[in-house]
Amino acid sequence: MIQRKKKSWFYMLFIWHGSVLPQLVPRLSLLLVFSMVIVYFNGTLYHYKVPLNPAPFTLFGLAIALFLGFRNNASYDRFWEGRKLWGALVIDSRSLLRQALSLTTYDNKSPQIKEFANLLIAFSYALKHQLRHTNSDTDLQKRLSSEAFERSKTIGFKPTFLQYELANWVKKAKLEGKIDSIGQMAIDANLNQLSAIVGGCERIHSTPIPYTYGVLLHRTVYLYCFFLPFGLVDSLGWLTPIITVFIAYTFVAFETIADELEEPFGTEPNDLPLNAMCLTIETTLSEMIGEPIPSQPQLDGYILD
């Protein structure tokens, strides 16, 4: 995720990294060349003058802008819901460890408390890898006992497995008399919140915006940009390629941004920084039990991954 301080209006005009412009340069360059050809032939195609004027493009442009606005709002809602779910994960992880410290008779330096904290940390990393379809073995091996890690290797959906391990920890504490029934119920309520977070992330991840809607908008935007030079050439002349590329940049960039935000759990520059949020959970939980704080990674410019 790109995270940078606000710069002056002039500096913002030339920001490259983190914008969608690098993805659009080939398409905009092709449109620029095409527009220059249209200007050179004065809007004539195979000795036939294409009879277009700016009026219909004004109407179509307004309609496309409305649809793009709706598309971006839908995508940003998914992005923001994903952020709220991961924010809730940070809060619930802290709450669960606080309850384990305050509602049980375990000492904060006991191996049982450290095990519980490591299970919570491993849960956040497992969820991140599940959403990104990456291998979680390295992160889990560092945070789980050898027995738990070996069992997890045969599990397909590791966050659910770790929820089960957390519930077993609470059950064991109850059987040992380290926690009463009221404390057990309080911790179990927060464990249910973890289930809701996983379910919410799954809902976003497995239910994209309907494909046919994206195809329709994509075709409309590119057809609009393709015909635009024919409508502008008579009134703008040699300025047609510049104005065409500028308008196309606006429309195509909105579509590209919507595509990026639609899947907020990926690794593109504008996706959610799941690694940074997992590290936040690990850092705060380690502080709560007096464990060494993990080293902060060096950020690549302004990128949080």
pTM of the model as a whole: 0.86
pLDDT for position 4? 57
Residue pLDDT, tens place only, 286-295: 999 988 887 6
What is the Cα–Cα distance from 99 to 128, expressed in whole angstroms?
Answer: 24
| Residue 124 confidence class, pLDDT cut points 50, 70, 90 | very high
| Residue 280 confidence class, pLDDT cut points 50, 70, 90 | very high
Q: Are 265 and 204 in contact (CB under 8 A)?
A: yes
Distance of CA 17 to CAs 247, 250, 303, Å?
A: 21, 17, 10
Question: Which residues are CB-contacts of 276 (< 8 A; sequence separation ≥ 6)?
Answer: 1, 304, 305
Residue position matching structure tokens 């936040």: 280
What is the Cα–Cα distance from 248 to 36, expressed in whole angstroms?
Answer: 15
Q: How does DSSP assign 212-275, residue by residue?
A: HHHHHHHHHHHHHHHHHHHHHHHHHGGGHHHHHHHHHHHHHHHHHHHHHHHSTTSSSTTS--HH
Identify the DSSP state of 208: P
Helix (H) or strand (E) holding 45: strand 44-45
Taking each helix axis from N to C end, the angle separating 158-175 and 111-132, rounded to the nearest 10 degrees, works out to 160
Residue pLDDT, tens place only, 35-89: 998 888 887 777 777 777 788 888 888 888 888 888 899 999 999 999 999 999 9
Q: Which of 92, 44, 48, 74 is nearest to 197 (CA)?
A: 92
User: Cα-flanking dihedrals φ and ψ of residue 48, to 5°?
Assistant: -120, 120
